[in-house]
């Protein structure tokens, strides 16, 4: 940590800060600038709480040098491929994940899965436990839905990603699925994150509705610190003042995460926009920006969907989009594009 002193700080103020640093068992080193003094703190094993110093007389600011998220940002240069079922996400493996918002009945699930498999995607999504704003809205098929997902895996060789809302849900998803989705509303449910860290399956961690990058990384830290290295981040839009879309898809978090973390980050343009007509455009943009994958809602008949119909793609739209995504991926991962990236 660096403790930046005010220009008018006295020698006694500086002495007092150094004494406080030493009282915690660390060392303080003064760096005299032309206008102000900065005190560098060394000897700490983890990050230090700035509250120890920021109210001391003469202190202008504190700057953290040691990041609090050590596991999530251990080696950003060495990208990690998260194993999910019989495939991978990240580390050069692009993942297309698609399926309905909610599992509704066998016909809807299997019709959608057929399209997803036909597109060449390797991952199927679909919620059996739905986090609904209203307790009176459809809450999902529960275990019956998970059994359908297990059948989809058998029939189409698709890997299953599905949300759990609580500890019982995680146990159930572990039994029937390949990857546990922690939804935006649960991103800071810390006991659930710890449980997910012990579950033995990869975790798709969605960004909270108003979460910062720091908060997202720290949420992952809860899972990683329980011994589960398999976390995939997901940008799904955040709340802003904009009302033309359901959420504001923050694509800038993709390079921001990639700069700091070895873990993959995928994008959800369905919840990120809430609008069918925006999903293809934002999917293409997410791939161009370098996302490690996409998660897209598809429904055989969006007008009849029990949940999120306005943002669902029709099967034929999804198939067209899949082809476009493939073309963009081939362009952005060309050697020319890679050398342009490296020179930035
Ligand atoms: C979902 O993926 O169906 C979902 C509810 O997503 P989020 O948690 O991002 O709202
Ligand atoms: Mn949805």
pLDDT for residue 323:
98
337 pLDDT band, cuts 50/70/90, is low
Tokens of 106: 């066998």
pLDDT for residue 67:
80
- Whether the CB-CB separation of 86 and 159 falls below 8 Å is answered with yes
| Confidence check: pLDDT of 341 > 80 | no
pLDDT tens figures, 286-296:
999 999 999 99
pLDDT for residue 65:
86
Other beta carbons within 10 angstroms of residue 103's beta carbon come to 29
Does 184 contact ligand 1 (Cβ within 6 A)? Answer: yes
Neighbouring residues of 183: CB distance < 8 A, sequence distance ≥ 6:
131, 163, 165, 206
Does 127 contact ligand 1 (Cβ within 6 A)? Answer: yes
pLDDT tens figures, 248-276:
999 999 999 999 999 999 999 999 999 99
State mean pLDDT over 297-314: 98
| Confidence check: pLDDT of 73 > 60 | yes
How far, rounded to the nearest angstrom, does the alpha carbon of residue 186 sit from its chain's CA centroid? Answer: 12
223 pLDDT band, cuts 50/70/90, is very high
Nearest CA to ligand 1 atom 10: 184
DSSP state of 294: E
d(CA 126, CA 150): 11
Ligand nearest to the CA of 181: 1
pLDDT for residue 75:
84
Does 271 contact ligand 1 (Cβ within 6 A)? Answer: yes
Residue with the larger pLDDT of the pair 332 and 253: 253
pLDDT tens figures, 233-253:
999 999 999 999 999 999 999
pLDDT for residue 28:
95
pLDDT for residue 339:
59
pLDDT for residue 335:
57
Q: Which atom of ligand 1 is nearest to the CA of 207?
A: 9
| Confidence check: pLDDT of 130 > 90 | yes
Does 52 contact ligand 1 (Cβ within 6 A)? Answer: no
Does 183 contact ligand 1 (Cβ within 6 A)? Answer: yes
SS3 state at 3 = strand
Nearest CA to ligand 1 atom 6: 183
Ligand nearest to the CA of 187: 1
Does 246 contact ligand 1 (Cβ within 6 A)? Answer: no
d(CA 77, CA 289): 17
Question: What domains can be seen in the chain, in order of their start residue?
Answer: 2-63 (3.30.70.1140), 82-343 (3.20.20.70)
What average pLDDT does the structure give for the chain? 95
Burial class for 260, CB neighbours closer than 10 Å (0-12, 13-18, 19+): middle
pLDDT for residue 333:
74
| Confidence check: pLDDT of 343 > 80 | no
pLDDT for residue 70:
85
| Confidence check: pLDDT of 344 > 80 | no
State mean pLDDT over 53-59: 97
pLDDT tens figures, 275-289:
999 999 999 999 999
Q: Which of 127, 192, 270 to mutate to test the pocket of ligand 1 (most atoms within 8 A of CB)?
A: 127
State mean pLDDT over 57-79: 90
State mean pLDDT over 125-136: 97
| Confidence check: pLDDT of 336 > 80 | no
State mean pLDDT over 205-230: 97
State mean pLDDT over 308-332: 97
pLDDT for residue 168:
98
45 pLDDT band, cuts 50/70/90, is confident
| Confidence check: pLDDT of 338 > 80 | no
Does 205 contact ligand 1 (Cβ within 6 A)? Answer: no
pTM of the model: 0.89
End-to-end CA distance of the chain: 28
Q: Which of 98, 128, 163 to mutate to test the pocket of ligand 1 (most atoms within 8 A of CB)?
A: 163
Does 236 contact ligand 1 (Cβ within 6 A)? Answer: yes
Distance between Cα 119 and ligand 1 center (Å): 22
pLDDT tens figures, 19-40:
999 999 999 999 999 999 999 9
pLDDT for residue 240:
98
pLDDT tens figures, 158-172:
999 999 999 999 999
Does 207 contact ligand 1 (Cβ within 6 A)? Answer: no
Does 206 contact ligand 1 (Cβ within 6 A)? Answer: yes
Nearest CA to ligand 1 atom 9: 184
């Amino acid at each position: 940590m660096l403790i930046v002193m005010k220009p008018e700080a006295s020698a006694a103020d500086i002495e007092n800060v150094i004494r406080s640093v030493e009282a915690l068992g660390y060392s303080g080193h003064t760096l005299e600038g032309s206008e102000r003094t900065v005190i560098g703190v060394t000897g700490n094993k983890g990050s230090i709480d700035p509250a120890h110093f920021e109210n001391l007389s003469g202190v202008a600011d504190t700057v953290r040098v040691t990041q609090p998220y050590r596991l999530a940002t251990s080696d950003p240069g060495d990208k990690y491929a998260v194993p999910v079922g019989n495939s991978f996400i990240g580390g050069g493996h692009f993942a297309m994940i698609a399926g309905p918002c909610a599992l509704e009945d066998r016909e809807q699930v299997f019709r959608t899965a057929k399209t997803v498999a036909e597109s060449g995607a390797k991952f199927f999504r679909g919620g059996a436990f739905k986090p609904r704003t209203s307790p009176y809205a459809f809450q999902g098929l529960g275990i019956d839905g998970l059994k359908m997902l297990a059948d989809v895996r058998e029939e189409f060789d698709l890997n299953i990603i599905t949300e759990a809302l609580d500890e019982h849900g995680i146990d159930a998803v572990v039994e029937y699925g390949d990857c546990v989705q922690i939804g935006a509303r649960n991103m800071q449910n810390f006991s659930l994150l710890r449980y997910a860290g012990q579950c033995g399956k990869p975790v798709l961690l969605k960004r909270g509705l108003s979460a910062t990058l720091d908060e997202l990384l720290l949420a992952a830290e809860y899972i990683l610190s329980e011994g589960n290295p398999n976390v995939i981040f997901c940008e799904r839009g955040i709340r802003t003042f904009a009302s033309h879309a359901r959420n504001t898809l923050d694509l800038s978090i993709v390079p921001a995460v990639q700069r700091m973390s070895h873990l993959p980050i995928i994008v959800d343009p369905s919840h990120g926009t809430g609008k069918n007509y925006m999903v293809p455009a934002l999917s293409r943009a997410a791939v161009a920006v370098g996302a490690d994958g996409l998660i897209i809602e598809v429904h055989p008949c969006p007008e009849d969907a029990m949940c999120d119909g306005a943002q669902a793609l029709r099967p034929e739209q999804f198939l067209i989009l899949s082809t476009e995504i493939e073309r963009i991926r081939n362009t952005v991962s060309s050697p020319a594009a890679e050398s342009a990236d490296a020179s930035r």
